[in-house]
Every structure is written in C-alpha cells, then in structure tokens.
Amino acid sequence: MTWPTADVTEVTCDAIWVTCDAGTPVVPQPVVAPATVDQYLELITSYHRGRPKFVAMMQALVAPVVANYNLTQNMPIAYDIDGAVGAQLDVVGEWVGRSRFVTVPIPGVYFSFDDPLLGFNLGVWKGPYDTGTGLTRLDDETYRTLLRAKIAANNWDGTLPSAKAALDIIFPDGETKLLIIDNQDMTMTFGVAGTIPSILFLVLLSQGYIPLKPEGVRANYRITSAGGPLFGFNVQNDFISGFNTGSWGVSPEYYIS
C-alpha cells in the first residue's frame, strides 16, 4: 500500500473520494451498496418470471436474507466509535473498559455551619452510610470523548508526552491547557490552566477515569483558581506565569465539593 504524501491527495475507491493532508495515511474504504430483493428477483428465468405465486414465494424467501446481509454490512459502522450512538456506544465502552455511568459529588445537600443555605432546618444530616455522590449518565458526545481518552490511556507507553496527548483529547479546543510535571519523588502533578473546565470533566480527570499514572506514584491535581495560567516562579507562558498573571492552583475539591 502506498501512502499519499502530496499536500492534497484524492484517493478514489468505488466512487468515494478521500481528501487528506500531507503525510496522513488514508485507507480507502470500499463502498457496499445495500442489497435489494429486486436484485434477486431479476435473476428469475423467463419461464418463471410471469408466475405471480412463484415470484411471491421467492420474494418471501429472499427478503430475510437481504435484510441480514444489509445488517451485517452496517454493523462495523454502527459500532464504530465515531458513529455509534446509544446502546451501540455502550458496547464500544464495554470493549474499551469504561462505563457510561460515572460517580460525581452531590454538593449543596448536607448540613454545614459555614453555608447559610445549609444550616439548621435547611441542610440534610449526613448519615453514616451516605456517600455524598451519585451516578451520572453521560450523553453520547461526552461519553465518546471519554472513550477516546480511555483508548489512548490503554495504549499509554508510560511517557509524559503521550500522557498529555491522551488528556488533550478531553479538551480539544485548546482553551483548557493541561501540563504534567514529574516531581522526581514518586509523585506527579497534573495542572489545568486556561479556561476552567466543567465539574464533570474535573471529576473525570481527578477520579481516575482516565488512568495515566504508574503504579505506586501519587497523582496531585492543581486547577487554576481564576482562569489563565497557574502561578509559578521563573516561568512565563500559557501554563505557568508569575505575579499579576498566574493564579493559585487549587485541588479539584475546591470546585466539586
């Protein structure tokens, strides 16, 4: 197989045109047109073609076969991560190893002294077996993003660049910036700068739904407290900046508790 290397390359395969950027390998996918019952009825010989009962019998025999053929031809597309929806995407998640249901905190429910909305006669007393969390069902697009990141984590080679590439899948717009620091003391720090992500994505990042740390290494998470870069000395970029630009890094519990 020859990979296209031109700036814009058109590859044709059974009337499908595929356009790719320079250096991007393209595997043409053959076109499989849906089968129809009429295609098989046209094969009836002239002697039997004018006999309604014979044609009706052949139609009844061929119709289930055609339906099964079309179903099997569409199964790869139905269970492709880019196009699967609903129950099909759940099956993809079983193969990848991540359920659609995630555990998220339930804030603003239990009694608290420092919150005027959760004081006496307002907040609920937390019992000994109350966890303070609940299950949330991810929508298809969020679940698809999580599965892509989990697939990257499943293929992680243990290096920091590949770990960052896997996490960048969660924030493809580039507004939220991720950095990973190896502290050289059996700990690593995941920093989140730029736009503060939603609580759901903070949970996915900090609760181990995308496992990107070696065994025995403790992971610390620091999220920008006011947007923009995190505060740090002797560094000035989009990830870490000094006074008047950088923000203190806080733990995910600052937002999700």
Place of tokens 């508790």: 257
Contact predicate 54/44, CB 8 Å:
yes
DSSP-assigned beta bridge partners for residue 103? 135
Contact predicate 31/15, CB 8 Å:
yes
**Whole-angstrom distance, CA of residue 99 vs CA of residue 182:** 29
Q: pLDDT tens string for the chain (257 positions)?
A: 444 443 333 333 333 333 333 333 333 344 467 788 888 888 888 888 888 899 899 899 999 999 998 888 888 888 888 888 899 999 999 999 989 988 877 666 667 777 666 677 666 666 776 666 777 888 898 899 889 888 988 888 888 888 888 888 888 777 888 888 888 899 999 988 988 888 888 888 888 888 888 888 888 989 988 888 899 888 888 888 888 888 888 888 888 76
Contact predicate 250/231, CB 8 Å:
no
CA distances from 113 to 123, 129, 132, 254 (A): 9, 21, 17, 17
- The whole-model pTM stands at 0.65
**Whole-angstrom distance, CA of residue 109 vs CA of residue 68:** 52
**Whole-angstrom distance, CA of residue 37 vs CA of residue 57:** 12
